[in-house]
């Protein structure tokens, strides 16, 4: 059984690309790109036996399936395919710790930005980071990834643990990278990678929970599969206090395994001068000097709540005729949102900008930033808008109230409530002094609580603590 398509659907980002070979290996950095061939990791019989076990385990979620995987692991120890690549000699803590980050998404969004920032700032004296992700995401990262000195492994789209070809590639990557730590981001990555990582002898698996999974229905809502997979995970990172409660109370993960490392952002990159002429940017969108601008950054997916924003806009436009709304991002709902915009007669006021690399400049020309999400983790958009001194109107979901303090650093409304959203937009658009006050307080709060240096330090401490426990 696979995950819902809405969860795994992706987009191709713009920008540069990194070269990758048929083995899925890329080296990105100052030394240029290198290719090497990974040895085949499975015999056909071993692969089929393993995938049969994995499918059984995921579909049944029982102790019998878990025991069968353990039996298969013991039986396959004689196969070179499941033996990890030779480790460097010496104690784990007397050499650099190899950390492989795994993303299975193809979209460059907030989660992917956070992983890129972490790869950029991990201490190279202590750690040797690497990244495994789909080729579309490598392309979307472009030059920003090329500038980093790390190994990058190209993966095919991976959403189900019984995708034999993709799982064989994942096993090859694990053998080639020989990581001490596999760090997965989001549940689908953990579902597919954690069993393979343990079978390939990876000592530590860490999962980052970055979002409340509002997509879940049916068997996925019971979290039984999550709890069985979590037996293979050594630590769960929650990026907000709300997500810690989600993991311990809803998913019922052991509290002692859950560590809160609150989201953060590279604030210096957000506030740095891009050299963009903001008047030219306004001209690109044909904005008139008197027009108010609302920006809505986010993927065009159900999670981001665009349907309720479009439903609210006619009421807002009845009071504010000179208003332009910029929907900044791409996604699977683009055609549907464009059609709904036309149906509601909003075509003169709503602009679908597509994926933009100059999102911070778009925030700079905005009078108000709106985040109408139905579920979240701890939204980077709120941190970025705050760093730029922009007021934000958001829905009171999950970790959002931890960064958007109602009436202090922003404004909160209930989710999926277009009437309250319209009322709040009118309130804020009609009171420039309130917008200024909220924006300035947001800037102070974000600088004090959401620097990325804290995220890096706490993540490094977790890696070191787990590795010390292994060698104790």
Residue 247 makes CB contacts below 8 A (sequence gap 6+) with 209, 236, 238, 253, 258
How many whole angstroms separate alpha carbon 409 and alpha carbon 290? 26
pLDDT tens, position by position, 136-172: 999 999 999 999 989 999 999 888 888 888 999 999 9
Tell me the domain boundaries of the chain.
5-264+453-471, 269-450
Q: Over range 224-250, report the average pLDDT.
A: 95
> Model confidence over 251-263: pLDDT tens digits?
999 999 999 999 9
**CATH number for the segment(s) 269-450:** 3.40.50.2000
pLDDT greater than 80 at residue 328: yes
pTM, two decimals, is 0.74
The CA-atom distances, in angstroms, between 245 and each of 213, 254, 367, 373 are 13, 11, 34, 19
Mean pLDDT computed over 213-239: 87
Looking at residue 116, what is its pLDDT?
96
Task: Give the distance between the most distant pair of CA atoms in the chain.
Answer: 73
Q: What is the pLDDT of residues 348-400, one digit of tens each?
A: 999 999 989 899 999 999 999 999 999 998 899 999 999 999 999 999 999 99
Does the pLDDT value for residue 408 go beyond 60?
A: yes
pLDDT at site 157: 87
What is the topology classification, in CATH, of domain 5-264+453-471?
Rossmann fold (3.40.50)
Location of structure tokens 């079978």: 199
């Amino acid at each position: 059984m696979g995950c819902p398509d809405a969860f795994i659907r992706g987009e191709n980002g713009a920008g540069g690309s990194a070269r990758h070979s048929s083995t899925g290996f890329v080296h990105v950095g100052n030394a240029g790109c290198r290719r090497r061939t990974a040895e085949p990791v499975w015999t056909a019989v071993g692969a089929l036996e393993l995938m049969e076990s994995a499918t059984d385990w995921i579909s049944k979620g029982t102790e019998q399936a878990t025991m069968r995987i353990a039996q298969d692991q013991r039986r396959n120890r004689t196969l070179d395919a499941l033996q990890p690549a030779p480790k460097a000699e010496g104690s784990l803590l007397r050499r650099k710790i190899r950390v492989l980050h795994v993303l299975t998404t193809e979209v460059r969004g907030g989660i992917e930005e956070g992983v890129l920032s972490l790869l950029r700032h991990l201490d190279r004296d202590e750690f040797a980071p690497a990244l495994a992700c789909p080729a579309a995401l490598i392309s979307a990262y472009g030059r920003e990834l090329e500038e980093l000195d790390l190994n990058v492994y190209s993966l095919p789209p991976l959403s189900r643990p019984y995708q034999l070809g993709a799982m064989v590639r994942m096993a090859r990557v694990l053998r080639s990278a020989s990581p001490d730590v596999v760090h997965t981001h989001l549940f689908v990555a953990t579902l597919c990678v954690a069993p393979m990582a343990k079978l390939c002898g990876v000592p530590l698996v860490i999962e980052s929970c970055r979002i409340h999974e509002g997509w879940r229905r049916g068997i996925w809502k019971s979290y039984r599969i999550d709890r069985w997979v979590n037996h293979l995970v050594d630590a769960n990172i929650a990026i907000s206090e709300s997500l810690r409660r989600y993991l311990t109370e809803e998913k019922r993960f052991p509290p002692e395994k859950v560590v809160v490392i609150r989201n953060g952002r590279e604030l210096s990159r957000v506030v740095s001068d891009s050299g963009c002429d903001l008047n030219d940017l306004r001209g690109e969108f044909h904005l008139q000097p008197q027009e108010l601008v609302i920006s809505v950054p986010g993927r065009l997916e159900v999670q981001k709540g665009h349907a309720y924003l479009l439903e609210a806009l006619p009421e807002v436009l009845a009071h504010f005729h000179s208003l332009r709304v910029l929907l900044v991002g791409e996604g699977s709902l683009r055609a549907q949102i464009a059609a709904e915009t036309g149906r509601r007669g909003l075509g003169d006021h709503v602009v679908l900008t597509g994926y933009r690399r100059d999102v911070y400049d778009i925030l700079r020309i905005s009078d108000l930033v709106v985040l109408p999400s139905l579920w979240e983790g701890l939204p980077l958009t709120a941190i970025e808008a705050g760093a730029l001194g922009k007021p934000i109107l958001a829905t009171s979901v999950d970790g959002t109230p931890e960064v958007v303090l109602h009436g202090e650093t922003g404004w909160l409304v209930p989710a999926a409530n277009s009437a309250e959203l319209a009322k709040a937009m009118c309130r804020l658009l009609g009171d420039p002094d309130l917008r200024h006050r909220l924006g300035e307080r947001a800037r102070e709060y974000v600088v004090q609580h959401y620097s990325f240096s804290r995220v890096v330090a706490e993540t490094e401490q977790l890696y070191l603590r787990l590795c010390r426990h292994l060698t104790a």
